[in-house]
Amino acid sequence: MPLVKLTDMLPGGRWAIPALNVENMEMAQGVVEAAEALRAPVILQTTPGTLKHAPPALFVSMISALARSARVPVGLHLDHGDSLDLVYDALEAGYTSVMFDGSKLSFEENVTATARAVAMAGGVPVEGELGAVGGKEDSHSARAELTDPAQAAEFALRTGAAMLAVAIGTAHGVYAVEPKLDMKRLSAIKAAVSIPLVLHGTSGISAQQVRSCVMRGVRKVNVATELRAAFTQGVRSSLSENENAFDPKIYMGAGRARVRAVAEDWIRVCGAKGKA
Protein backbone atom coordinates (compact mmCIF):
# COMPACT_ATOMS: atom_id res chain seq x y z
CA MET A 1 0.00 0.00 0.00
CA PRO A 2 1.13 3.63 -0.36
CA LEU A 3 2.76 5.41 2.59
CA VAL A 4 0.21 5.92 5.39
CA LYS A 5 -0.26 9.18 7.29
CA LEU A 6 0.65 9.01 10.96
CA THR A 7 -2.77 10.25 12.07
CA ASP A 8 -4.37 7.36 10.14
CA MET A 9 -2.45 4.79 12.16
CA LEU A 10 -2.40 6.35 15.63
CA PRO A 11 -3.55 3.87 18.24
CA GLY A 12 -6.94 4.19 19.85
CA GLY A 13 -5.92 1.85 22.66
CA ARG A 14 -3.03 1.51 25.06
CA TRP A 15 -0.23 0.82 22.65
CA ALA A 16 2.18 2.99 20.69
CA ILE A 17 3.40 3.26 17.13
CA PRO A 18 7.09 2.32 16.95
CA ALA A 19 8.89 5.17 15.15
CA LEU A 20 12.24 3.78 14.13
CA ASN A 21 15.12 5.82 12.70
CA VAL A 22 16.81 4.52 9.57
CA GLU A 23 19.94 5.64 7.74
CA ASN A 24 20.03 3.49 4.63
CA MET A 25 18.30 0.82 2.58
CA GLU A 26 19.30 -2.12 4.75
CA MET A 27 18.07 -0.47 7.96
CA ALA A 28 14.77 0.39 6.25
CA GLN A 29 14.41 -3.19 4.97
CA GLY A 30 15.17 -4.59 8.42
CA VAL A 31 12.47 -2.41 10.03
CA VAL A 32 9.81 -3.25 7.42
CA GLU A 33 10.66 -6.98 7.64
CA ALA A 34 10.16 -6.80 11.43
CA ALA A 35 6.81 -4.99 11.04
CA GLU A 36 5.61 -7.58 8.50
CA ALA A 37 6.71 -10.51 10.63
CA LEU A 38 4.82 -9.16 13.66
CA ARG A 39 1.90 -7.62 11.73
CA ALA A 40 2.54 -4.17 13.17
CA PRO A 41 2.11 -0.68 11.71
CA VAL A 42 5.42 1.16 11.73
CA ILE A 43 6.89 4.63 11.19
CA LEU A 44 10.31 4.98 9.60
CA GLN A 45 11.97 8.30 10.31
CA THR A 46 15.06 10.29 9.41
CA THR A 47 16.87 13.11 11.24
CA PRO A 48 18.26 16.29 9.65
CA GLY A 49 21.73 14.70 9.86
CA THR A 50 20.52 11.70 7.85
CA LEU A 51 18.99 14.06 5.27
CA LYS A 52 22.35 15.78 4.85
CA HIS A 53 23.76 12.38 3.99
CA ALA A 54 21.00 11.67 1.43
CA PRO A 55 18.11 13.97 0.44
CA PRO A 56 14.41 13.52 1.41
CA ALA A 57 13.37 12.49 -2.13
CA LEU A 58 15.71 9.50 -2.00
CA PHE A 59 14.18 8.25 1.26
CA VAL A 60 10.66 8.87 -0.07
CA SER A 61 11.32 6.77 -3.20
CA MET A 62 12.98 3.96 -1.33
CA ILE A 63 10.53 3.77 1.59
CA SER A 64 7.47 4.19 -0.67
CA ALA A 65 8.69 1.19 -2.64
CA LEU A 66 9.06 -0.83 0.58
CA ALA A 67 5.62 0.33 1.76
CA ARG A 68 3.94 -0.61 -1.53
CA SER A 69 5.03 -4.21 -1.25
CA ALA A 70 4.29 -4.45 2.49
CA ARG A 71 1.03 -5.81 3.94
CA VAL A 72 1.25 -3.53 6.98
CA PRO A 73 0.92 0.30 7.11
CA VAL A 74 4.26 2.09 6.78
CA GLY A 75 4.74 5.85 7.28
CA LEU A 76 7.70 8.16 6.74
CA HIS A 77 8.35 10.91 9.28
CA LEU A 78 10.83 13.76 9.57
CA ASP A 79 12.41 13.48 13.03
CA HIS A 80 13.58 16.71 14.74
CA GLY A 81 13.04 19.01 11.75
CA ASP A 82 15.21 21.92 12.88
CA SER A 83 14.09 24.55 10.37
CA LEU A 84 10.92 25.41 8.49
CA ASP A 85 12.93 25.02 5.26
CA LEU A 86 13.69 21.39 6.05
CA VAL A 87 10.04 20.80 7.03
CA TYR A 88 9.05 22.26 3.67
CA ASP A 89 11.55 20.07 1.78
CA ALA A 90 10.33 16.92 3.53
CA LEU A 91 6.65 17.75 2.84
CA GLU A 92 7.44 18.59 -0.77
CA ALA A 93 9.25 15.27 -1.21
CA GLY A 94 6.27 13.31 0.18
CA TYR A 95 6.93 12.65 3.88
CA THR A 96 3.66 11.60 5.54
CA SER A 97 4.35 13.43 8.82
CA VAL A 98 6.95 15.85 10.15
CA MET A 99 8.32 17.04 13.44
CA PHE A 100 9.15 20.67 13.90
CA ASP A 101 11.53 20.87 16.86
CA GLY A 102 11.36 24.35 18.33
CA SER A 103 12.63 23.23 21.73
CA LYS A 104 15.66 25.53 21.52
CA LEU A 105 13.39 28.55 21.00
CA SER A 106 11.54 30.54 23.65
CA PHE A 107 7.96 29.40 24.34
CA GLU A 108 6.42 32.17 22.20
CA GLU A 109 8.86 31.61 19.31
CA ASN A 110 8.24 27.86 19.49
CA VAL A 111 4.45 28.42 19.35
CA THR A 112 4.77 30.77 16.36
CA ALA A 113 7.16 28.56 14.38
CA THR A 114 5.26 25.33 15.10
CA ALA A 115 1.98 26.98 14.05
CA ARG A 116 3.67 28.04 10.81
CA ALA A 117 4.83 24.45 10.22
CA VAL A 118 1.24 23.24 10.80
CA ALA A 119 -0.12 25.80 8.30
CA MET A 120 2.56 24.82 5.77
CA ALA A 121 1.80 21.10 6.21
CA GLY A 122 -1.82 21.58 5.06
CA GLY A 123 -3.22 18.51 6.81
CA VAL A 124 -0.04 16.43 7.03
CA PRO A 125 0.39 15.79 10.77
CA VAL A 126 3.03 17.84 12.62
CA GLU A 127 4.73 16.78 15.84
CA GLY A 128 5.83 19.61 18.10
CA GLU A 129 8.18 19.54 21.08
CA LEU A 130 7.81 21.45 24.30
CA GLY A 131 10.49 21.33 26.95
CA ALA A 132 13.71 19.79 25.70
CA VAL A 133 14.80 16.15 25.56
CA GLY A 134 18.52 16.52 26.30
CA GLY A 135 21.48 14.54 25.01
CA LYS A 136 22.96 14.15 21.59
CA GLU A 137 21.52 12.55 18.44
CA ASP A 138 23.81 13.29 15.46
CA SER A 139 23.49 17.02 14.65
CA HIS A 140 20.82 17.45 17.31
CA SER A 141 22.09 18.35 20.76
CA ALA A 142 20.29 20.05 23.62
CA ARG A 143 20.10 20.61 27.36
CA ALA A 144 17.21 18.92 29.10
CA GLU A 145 14.24 20.91 30.36
CA LEU A 146 11.11 19.09 31.50
CA THR A 147 7.73 19.81 29.89
CA ASP A 148 5.30 21.93 31.92
CA PRO A 149 1.74 20.47 31.73
CA ALA A 150 -0.10 23.83 31.67
CA GLN A 151 2.22 25.17 28.97
CA ALA A 152 1.74 21.93 27.02
CA ALA A 153 -2.02 22.53 26.95
CA GLU A 154 -1.54 26.08 25.71
CA PHE A 155 1.03 24.91 23.12
CA ALA A 156 -1.29 22.23 21.73
CA LEU A 157 -4.20 24.66 21.50
CA ARG A 158 -2.28 27.50 19.87
CA THR A 159 -0.17 25.49 17.39
CA GLY A 160 -2.64 22.89 16.09
CA ALA A 161 0.11 20.26 16.35
CA ALA A 162 -1.11 16.69 15.88
CA MET A 163 1.31 15.21 18.42
CA LEU A 164 3.50 16.45 21.22
CA ALA A 165 7.01 15.27 22.12
CA VAL A 166 7.42 15.51 25.88
CA ALA A 167 10.50 15.84 28.06
CA ILE A 168 10.06 13.78 31.22
CA GLY A 169 13.67 12.81 31.97
CA THR A 170 14.72 10.79 28.92
CA ALA A 171 17.74 11.85 26.84
CA HIS A 172 19.02 11.14 23.35
CA GLY A 173 22.06 8.94 22.82
CA VAL A 174 23.61 6.50 25.28
CA TYR A 175 22.87 6.60 29.02
CA ALA A 176 25.58 6.14 31.64
CA VAL A 177 22.93 5.04 34.18
CA GLU A 178 19.25 4.38 33.58
CA PRO A 179 17.43 7.69 34.06
CA LYS A 180 14.57 8.32 36.47
CA LEU A 181 11.48 9.29 34.51
CA ASP A 182 8.97 11.76 35.90
CA MET A 183 5.82 9.63 35.59
CA LYS A 184 3.65 12.05 37.59
CA ARG A 185 4.54 14.79 35.14
CA LEU A 186 3.66 12.52 32.21
CA SER A 187 0.23 11.79 33.71
CA ALA A 188 -0.33 15.51 34.33
CA ILE A 189 0.58 16.34 30.71
CA LYS A 190 -1.75 13.59 29.49
CA ALA A 191 -4.58 15.02 31.59
CA ALA A 192 -3.94 18.54 30.28
CA VAL A 193 -3.67 17.89 26.52
CA SER A 194 -5.87 15.92 24.14
CA ILE A 195 -3.28 15.21 21.38
CA PRO A 196 -1.16 12.02 21.45
CA LEU A 197 2.19 12.19 23.25
CA VAL A 198 5.56 11.12 21.86
CA LEU A 199 8.47 9.64 23.81
CA HIS A 200 12.02 10.42 22.64
CA GLY A 201 15.35 9.19 24.01
CA THR A 202 14.22 5.62 24.60
CA SER A 203 17.41 3.68 23.80
CA GLY A 204 18.55 2.28 27.14
CA ILE A 205 15.18 2.76 28.91
CA SER A 206 13.82 -0.52 30.27
CA ALA A 207 10.88 -2.16 28.51
CA GLN A 208 8.90 -1.82 31.73
CA GLN A 209 9.47 1.94 31.87
CA VAL A 210 8.47 2.39 28.23
CA ARG A 211 5.34 0.32 28.86
CA SER A 212 4.34 2.47 31.83
CA CYS A 213 4.78 5.56 29.62
CA VAL A 214 2.46 3.95 27.05
CA MET A 215 -0.07 3.21 29.83
CA ARG A 216 0.08 6.94 30.69
CA GLY A 217 -0.70 8.17 27.19
CA VAL A 218 2.42 7.88 24.99
CA ARG A 219 1.27 6.82 21.50
CA LYS A 220 4.53 7.10 19.50
CA VAL A 221 7.86 5.76 20.71
CA ASN A 222 11.01 6.95 18.94
CA VAL A 223 14.11 4.74 18.74
CA ALA A 224 17.32 5.79 17.00
CA THR A 225 20.53 5.05 18.90
CA GLU A 226 19.82 1.35 19.52
CA LEU A 227 19.13 0.74 15.82
CA ARG A 228 22.27 2.55 14.71
CA ALA A 229 24.28 0.53 17.20
CA ALA A 230 22.66 -2.74 16.09
CA PHE A 231 23.39 -2.07 12.43
CA THR A 232 26.99 -1.14 13.17
CA GLN A 233 27.53 -4.23 15.34
CA GLY A 234 26.16 -6.46 12.61
CA VAL A 235 28.47 -4.98 9.99
CA ARG A 236 31.45 -4.98 12.35
CA SER A 237 31.10 -8.60 13.43
CA SER A 238 30.57 -9.75 9.85
CA LEU A 239 33.73 -7.96 8.72
CA SER A 240 35.79 -9.20 11.64
CA GLU A 241 34.72 -12.80 10.94
CA ASN A 242 36.00 -12.43 7.40
CA GLU A 243 38.75 -9.88 6.91
CA ASN A 244 38.90 -10.57 3.18
CA ALA A 245 35.22 -9.78 2.64
CA PHE A 246 34.59 -7.46 -0.28
CA ASP A 247 30.90 -7.97 -1.06
CA PRO A 248 28.77 -5.25 0.62
CA LYS A 249 25.68 -7.51 0.38
CA ILE A 250 27.24 -9.84 2.95
CA TYR A 251 28.17 -7.36 5.69
CA MET A 252 25.30 -4.92 5.03
CA GLY A 253 22.97 -7.94 5.16
CA ALA A 254 24.38 -8.80 8.59
CA GLY A 255 23.58 -5.25 9.73
CA ARG A 256 20.05 -5.61 8.35
CA ALA A 257 19.47 -8.82 10.30
CA ARG A 258 20.50 -7.13 13.58
CA VAL A 259 18.23 -4.15 12.88
CA ARG A 260 15.32 -6.49 12.23
CA ALA A 261 15.83 -8.22 15.59
CA VAL A 262 16.00 -4.93 17.52
CA ALA A 263 12.98 -3.55 15.63
CA GLU A 264 11.00 -6.69 16.57
CA ASP A 265 11.88 -6.12 20.25
CA TRP A 266 10.63 -2.53 20.10
CA ILE A 267 7.41 -3.49 18.29
CA ARG A 268 6.66 -5.87 21.16
CA VAL A 269 7.58 -3.29 23.82
CA CYS A 270 5.20 -0.78 22.18
CA GLY A 271 2.40 -3.36 22.21
CA ALA A 272 2.11 -2.94 18.42
CA LYS A 273 2.41 -6.65 17.58
CA GLY A 274 -0.70 -7.87 15.72
CA LYS A 275 -2.14 -4.35 15.40
CA ALA A 276 -1.99 -4.28 11.56
Instruction: Say which of 79, 82, 138, 148 is annotated catalytic.
Output: 79
Q: Is 116 exposed, middle or buried (0-12, 13-18, 19+ CB in 10 A)?
A: middle
The interface region with Zn ion, picked from 28-36, 145-153, 154-162, 192-200 by CB under 5 A, is 192-200
* Nearest distance in Å: CB 22, Zn ion: 14
Q: Return d(Cα 186, Cα 167) in angstroms, integer.
A: 9
What is the largest distance, in Å, between two alpha-carbon atoms of the chain?
59
Stretch that binds Zn ion, among 9-17, 90-98, 199-207, 234-242 (CB under 5 A): 199-207
Annotation marks residue 82 as catalytic: no
Q: Which is nearer to Zn ion, 70 or 221 (CB)?
A: 221
Distance from C-alpha of 228 to C-alpha of 90, rounded to nearest angstrom = 22
Instruction: Pick the stretch among 5-13, 115-123, 194-202, 227-235 that binds Zn ion (CB under 5 A).
Output: 194-202
Partners of 129 in the beta sheet? Answer: 165
Is the CB of 34 or the CB of 142 nearer to Zn ion?
142
Counting contacts by CB under 5 A, is residue 77 touching Zn ion?
no
Q: Please, which residue, 29 or 45, has the CB nearer to Zn ion?
A: 45
Cβ atoms within 10 Å, residue 55: 12
Nearer to Zn ion, 200 or 275 (CB): 200
* Using rule CB under 5 A, residue 220 touches Zn ion: no
Contact flag: residue 200 with Zn ion (CB under 5 A): yes
In the complex, least distance from residue 79 CB atom to Zn ion, rounded to whole angstroms: 6
User: What is the total count of residues that contact Zn ion (CB under 5 A)?
Assistant: 1
> Minimum distance between the CB of residue 27 and Zn ion, rounded to whole angstroms?
17
Q: Name the residue with the smallest CB distance to Zn ion.
A: 200
Q: Measured from the CB atom, is 200 or 219 closer to Zn ion?
A: 200
For Zn ion, the binding residues (CB under 5 A) are: 200
Active-site residues, by number, are 79
